[in-house]
Structure 1
């Protein structure tokens, strides 16, 4: 008697898409690839995913909604720009280290979407990056951060943190908490932060 797969078919499709989009790219992943990875027939695959692009857009929206919600909660009530940025960097690094497939897809596949599908994803991404921009701008206005190019600085810091998804390993020399704290220190140093903000508990 065959053992029934405990993972629902729709979730298998989602996991397969994340894995393949992250490793092969959206355009490098075919319907047969998805069906094989999800252990479904190509015909039944459409029942659980709609179009391939719709599946990509859904995965990206889910990931960004989760990240944005976590970031808003993490910085709520924090007024010191140094501490807000420290928390945002730690969250970003932690998310990219623990959810590499999701974050690779979000970071790399926006251009694979049609203009209409891009809009919702870009709005979410912009809302998230606004939290970073506000922390940096507040720090510059208050004389805590020193940069002539706050927008370029923000993009550079995000790109630096994004790279964690490509190489982080739990068996590395630093724990994830240590790594996130180190990245926060690098970010503050890049902005010429004056003074210091005591970390508010453990990294996210």
Structure 2
């Protein structure tokens, strides 16, 4: 069985669901994160959502339909937040700090959802898995373009930009596995620490005060709050 801690670390209080669909999606996120996709049955999903199995099929279709819905929704929010941030044409060091803030914040705040997306993609059939990978590639393109722009300007110095991007994203995604809001490290400090490590990995080391200045310049949190508050 998956660690229940992953499902339990959703750090934003869940409001009462406004619709039956929301109830189903939230139940699926909890169960897929805790037990895994294949170990979760339709009956368990229906019970967790407080409905019967026929109602679940009526609203969401198959279990795989539900997983794909979760993957799509999560990926599209990341894409939209990254789009809004990079559209402001910040200098690359500020832009990369803003991308780090969006990614670390979302993975720490919605740890169950992001764990499902990161761990259960292989459970999708080939067409939907390919669609999910295309969404992931769209999101990662914002990181690639920011790293490329920084290298072109001389802000960043990396021997292999692809490996740098993959390593950075893996590090930032990892907070979903271990961060706890009840721990000693605040989410603000967590973001700053990761932004500092990312800049170091890109050959653009800054001290903590300089990193906080770049994060203030990026001002990414209002974007994240707005995107994730939308239904």
Q: Is the 8 A contact 2:196 2:205 kept in 1?
A: no
Structure 2 unaligned spans of 5+: 1-15, 222-231
Query: Is 2:143 the counterpart of 1:167?
Result: no
Distance 1:201 1:123 in 2: 27
Deviation at 1:160, TM superposition (A): 0.5
Distance 1:15 1:123 in 2: 24
Structure 1 unaligned spans of 5+: none
Q: Is the 8 A contact 1:89 1:183 kept in 2?
A: yes
The aligned residue for residue 91 of structure 1 is 102
Give the counterpart of 1:78 among 75, 89, 95: 89
SS of 1:78's partner is coil
The alpha-carbon distance between structure 1 residues 118 and 6, as it changes in their structure 2 partners (threshold 3 A), is closer
The aligned residue for residue 41 of structure 1 is 52
Q: Is the 8 A contact 1:133 1:154 kept in 2?
A: yes
The aligned residue for residue 229 of structure 2 is none
Distance 2:125 2:19 in 1: 29
Deviation at 1:57, TM superposition (A): 0.6
Distance 2:136 2:125 in 1: 16
Deviation at 1:192, TM superposition (A): 1.0
Residues 12-69 of structure 1: per-residue CA shift (max 9 Å, x gap): 1111101111111111211121112112222332112101111111111111111111
The aligned residue for residue 177 of structure 1 is 188
Distance 1:20 1:78 in 2: 40
Greater Rg, structure 1 or structure 2?
1
The aligned residue for residue 191 of structure 1 is 202
The aligned residue for residue 12 of structure 2 is none
Count of paired positions: 200
Distance 1:8 1:143 in 2: 50
Query: Is 2:119 the counterpart of 1:108?
Result: yes
TM-score of the aligned structures, taking structure 1 as reference length: 0.90
Distance 2:155 2:18 in 1: 50
Distance 1:28 1:133 in 2: 36
Give the counterpart of 2:63 among 30, 49, 52: 52
TM-score of the aligned structures, taking structure 2 as reference length: 0.80
